[in-house]
Amino acid sequence: MPATAFLPLLPGQIIEGRPATLGVLGGGQLGRMFVRAAQALGFETVVLDPDPASPAGRSCHHFIQAAYEDAEALREMARLAHAITTEFENVPAASLRELARLRPVTPSADTVAIAQDRIREKACFAQSGVPPAPHAVIETEADLAAVAENLLPGVLKTARLGYDGKGQARVGTRQELADAWHGMGRRACVLEKRLPLAAECSVIVARGRDGQTVSLPVQRNLHRNGILAVSEIHEGNIPAPLAAQAQAATCRLAHELGYVGVLCVEYFVLEDGSLIVNEIAPRPHNSGHYSIDACDLSQFELQARALAGLPLSAPRQHSPAIMLNLLGDLWLDAAGQPRQPPWRQILALPGAHLHLYGKTEARPGRKMGHLTFTGPTPQAARANAQTAAALLGIEAF
């Protein structure tokens, strides 16, 4: 029987004597929000994750505690789930290929493998029509010696397993570059030229197996220490022509990749008004969490629909939104002792939507939740978000 035999999957459908079930590799917050969206549609859910206390694992119908490479666990996932997705790009592509022999898997192992490797990722950006930053690939001492002077100052990034600022180093001179590369174990890296930025933004699209593609509004993002801090989503957050260009480029890239599922592409807006593509995430994205509260279709429902082969309606944003990322630092006082953030005061603010991920330990830099403010105008949402930031001790934006 072909892997896609049961598509489309219908909510509440009985297949092989069981309710239609959607599976996800990864039990973090993205998996948790996917599971809840799938359950709201009427699907059962199964999660595979090595952490017995994973947020998604405590929210699903069936939990498989195992490593992502565990062959027996993958077979159990394929037995329980009628279609399978992933919540993060560093799940082994080989595991996705194994599952795809038995069940529909989105996104494909090949597209996930591209997102796992900055070198391959840069090469595929030509298909979007928006260039990446000037860069050089460094895999050998000869590559290091051949780096052009005009790429400095730059940012050195490991080709694999880098996220939220990890596996990165700012370098200003050839000596700093050499020291950083050797400090990273002389692994394959990409050196990107630092460019004068006016803003950062991202676009999230969902694409079905039939090629139907829909897009969320463009998110304007603020990063601090390499981690997303604030997203602003409203008309005029970036110039309309740039927003249209970013959405068109993202849809074009998804089409050229033959992508199925939810895809996020991050962009830089340069001071001269031009657009540069930064990186892709083959999954829902932190910057799109606002869609749960500010849109009629969230990125997670779109993920479930694309996986199940259901129609993809164009999401409509009904309220301007500001989203604050909540890191573990907020649960620690100046001495590093545990504390509770002032949720009573936060929730008294108009338009506050608090989402905590159920993580059992707060650590500096760890994503513990997000806080979205919606309002009748961008100014109203922003004012309440600024008040909340002050109450939480988050730097104003």
Is 162 flagged in the annotation as binding?
Answer: yes
Is 359 flagged in the annotation as binding?
Answer: no
d(CA 12, CA 39): 10
- DSSP per residue over 284-334, as a string? --GGGTTHHHHBSS-HHHHHHHHHHT---PPP-B-S-EEEEEEEGGGGB-T
Instruction: For residue 254, give the nearest of 377, 362, 107 by alpha carbon.
Output: 107
Q: Is 193 helix (H, G, I), strand (E, B) or coil?
A: strand
State yes or no: cis peptide before 153, omega within 30 of 0. yes
Is 165 flagged in the annotation as binding?
Answer: yes
Is 101 flagged in the annotation as binding?
Answer: no
Is 221 flagged in the annotation as binding?
Answer: no
Is 168 flagged in the annotation as binding?
Answer: yes
Is 194 flagged in the annotation as binding?
Answer: yes
Is 200 flagged in the annotation as binding?
Answer: yes
Is 367 flagged in the annotation as binding?
Answer: no
Is 166 flagged in the annotation as binding?
Answer: yes
Q: Is residue 373 within 8 Å of residue 322, measured between CB atoms?
A: yes
**E-assigned strand segments in the chain:** 14-15, 18-19, 21-25, 44-49, 62-65, 83-86, 135-138, 154-158, 168-171, 189-193, 197-207, 213-215, 219-224, 227-233, 261-270, 275-281, 321-327, 352-356, 367-374
The interaxial angle of helices 299-308 and 29-41, nearest 10 deg, is 70
- Burial group, residue 50, by CB count within 10 angstroms (0-12, 13-18, 19+): middle
Using CA of residue 284, residue 266, residue 126, residue 210, what is the dihedral sign?
positive
Is 353 flagged in the annotation as binding?
Answer: no
Is 118 flagged in the annotation as binding?
Answer: yes
Angle, vertex CA 161, rays to CA 180 and CA 115, nearest 5? 120
With a CB cutoff of 8 Å and minimum separation 6, the contacts of 215 are 203, 204, 205, 206, 247, 250, 251, 314, 315
The interaxial angle of helices 71-80 and 93-100, nearest 10 deg, is 50
d(CA 206, CA 210): 12
Amino acid at 237: N
Annotated binding residues, as ranges?
118, 157, 162-168, 192-195, 200, 223, 278-279
Annotated binding residues for ATP, as ranges?
118, 157, 162-168, 192-195, 200, 223, 278-279
